[in-house]
A and B are shown apart, each in its own frame.
Chain A
């Protein structure tokens, strides 16, 4: 069974600084997809970024980028120029074709003014 681990239950960062959230996963599969979802206080789950395992290039979406290390089964999220609106729970998720999403337990990020 696949598992997703987020070893940082809580993190904080000063506004305008950079923060990295960690995620590791366990799978024997070669083709799969990884996601980061954001859940602000409003509780809505919002897709931040996704990465296909077959792509070597790290995905980037504006201030959000990932460091995907397939051999190490690591998928960290870097948030640059942190903004107050980035305060949220962040969930790492793993999925492979035909299977269900597996979510990590989440990291609570607080951006401090």
Chain B
């Protein structure tokens, strides 16, 4: 049982390049989330999904897109990377929705945009 995994662990992009971060969970969780973490700040929610085929915007969705084609996977895309998107990205999943259930986090992806 691997829990929540993220690929890649590190990535360096040039401004304007695109990339996709992959999150996978093997706990059969319905809910999945993408956060970003910046120095001196807590995690901020980018997008989330309440089930296969669904996505919703979080607190800071601009510049990102997501897809949940399979229940176990949640993809985060950057179409045209900007230096402001330099951050550590965390994926999380939970069985229930947000409030009552603990979120399980992946190990994070460190992204640098030059």
Q: B107 contacts A44, CB within 8 Å?
A: yes
Q: How far is the CA of A100 from the CA of B107 in the complex (A)?
A: 20
Q: Is the CB of B107 within 8 A of A42?
A: yes
Interface size class of A (residues with CB under 8 A): 20 to 34
Interface string of B84-114 (1 = CB under 8 A from A): 0000101010000111101111111000000
Q: Are B98 and A43 in contact (CB under 8 A)?
A: no
Beyond A100-B48, A103-B43, whether A44 also contacts B105 by CB under 8 A is yes
Interface centre among B48, B104, B105 (most CB of A within 10 A): B105
Q: Is B45 an interface residue (CB 8 A)?
A: yes
Chain B residues, Cβ within 8 Å of A47: 102-104
Chief secondary structure at chain B's binding surface: loop
Q: Kindly provide the distance from the CB of B77 to the nearest chain A CB, expressed in whole angstroms.
A: 20
Q: Is the CB of A103 within 8 A of B98?
A: no
Cβ B105 vs Cβ A98 within 8 A: no
Partner of A105, one of B40, B92, B104: B40
| Interface of A toward B, CB cutoff 8 Å | 4, 9, 32-33, 35, 37, 42-47, 50, 91, 93, 95-106
Q: A44-B105, A97-B98 are in contact. List 20 more A-B contacts (CB 8 A).
A: A33-B99, A43-B88, A43-B108, A44-B108, A45-B43, A45-B105, A47-B102, A47-B104, A95-B98, A95-B99, A97-B99, A97-B100, A99-B99, A100-B45, A101-B43, A101-B45, A104-B42, A105-B40, A105-B41, A106-B42
